[in-house]
Amino acid sequence: MKGKILMIDDDVDFREATAKILKFRGYDVVSAANAREARLMLKKEKPDLIILDIMLPDYDGFSLCTEIKENTDFFEIPILILTAMSAKKTQKKYAEKIAIHHQADEFAEKPIEPKELIARVHGLMTRSQVVNSDFSDKTKILFIDSDHDFMRAMRKVLEEKNYEVETTDTGKGGIMMIKTMFPQLIIIDPILSDIDGFSVCRELKSDKKTFHIPILMVTAFTQQLSDPDFAKTLATNHKVDEFIPKPIKPEQLLEKIQQYA
């Protein structure tokens, strides 16, 4: 079996149809019709992934998602919120924001094509297996930067020094990766394609699970300001551990990294 999935949904027909799709692809599937059953199944089955509906008969799925993620026995289990809650596209975006706020790993709308469902399940399961595997004792560093050339150059330097390096160019992607891989160090640029890096830093430093991770803000943002020191002030206010202006040579940044990692 590829892994065990717990489906939490009170729609019997949907559960049975979805279970068939997942079982055909080699997954073991167990189910719960409400939050009370889900809590019992979590302890009994220890699933590798949870597929969760929002509208449950005894408890809302958003709150259940947060409850699971704040439990040290279960917080590493990825959660895909799969729901028919939204009637309009604007409502979908709102529901997705709520899901992310409640620490869901991914959000999708019913009805969902089998191919998309399998792709999402595979992605979450694979990421979780990589995160939870202790293949090495290498220090993990996550780069969150839209400058792909910079990240490639730093990855080469750091991997030669036996660091484990992961990269992403979005703030939302970075937050999701951090809350699953728990790196020893984060290097971030405030200029990202979705949310700004300052807000990412504040969120991470306000979370009891991630506040201890050192964050280095490495950026050319100062070059866009009439008062370059304002960028450093922003970084300090958003709880960044150290502010480093670009350009910086990989070897110089490596020295900084070694002070924290």
Please tell me which residue, 72 or 137, carries the higher pLDDT value: 72
* DSSP 8-state secondary structure symbol assigned to residue 15: H
Lookup: tokens for 239: 């709880």
Which pLDDT band holds residue 203 (cuts at 50, 70, 90)?
Answer: very high
Residue with the two structure tokens 């803000």: 217
Is the same domain home to 238 and 167? Answer: yes
Is the same domain home to 117 and 205? Answer: no
- What domain range includes position 214? 140-260
Lookup: tokens for 87: 């009637």
Q: Which of 132, 149, 169 is the last residue of a domain?
A: 132
Is the same domain home to 110 and 153? Answer: no
Is the same domain home to 203 and 240? Answer: yes
Is the same domain home to 107 and 60? Answer: yes
Q: Are 142 and 181 in contact (CB under 8 A)?
A: yes
- What distance in Å separates the CA atoms of residue 222 and residue 244, rounded to the nearest whole number? 10
Q: Which of 82, 97, 132 is the last residue of a domain?
A: 132
- What distance in Å separates the CA atoms of residue 180 and residue 187, rounded to the nearest whole number? 17
* DSSP 8-state secondary structure symbol assigned to residue 251: H
Number of structural domains found in the chain: 2
Is the same domain home to 222 and 179? Answer: yes
**DSSP secondary structure letters along 93-128:** HHHHHHHHHTT-SEEEESS--HHHHHHHHHHHHHHH
Of 14-23, 104-113, 121-130, where does mean pLDDT reach its minimum?
A: 121-130
Give the pLDDT confidence of 138-194 residue by residue, as tens digits: 899 999 999 999 999 999 999 999 999 999 999 988 998 887 778 999 999 999 988
Is the same domain home to 190 and 91? Answer: no
Is the same domain home to 176 and 105? Answer: no
Reported pTM: 0.53
Q: Which of 106, 132, 158 is the last residue of a domain?
A: 132
The CATH number given to whatever domain includes residue 59 is 3.40.50.2300
Lookup: tokens for 163: 């660091």
Mean of the pLDDT values across residues 112-117?
92
- What distance in Å separates the CA atoms of residue 201 and residue 175, rounded to the nearest whole number? 9
Give the pLDDT confidence of 22-75 residue by residue, as tens digits: 999 999 999 999 999 999 999 999 999 999 999 999 999 999 999 999 888 898
Q: Are 184 and 153 in contact (CB under 8 A)?
A: no
Please tell me which residue, 92 or 25, carries the higher pLDDT value: 25
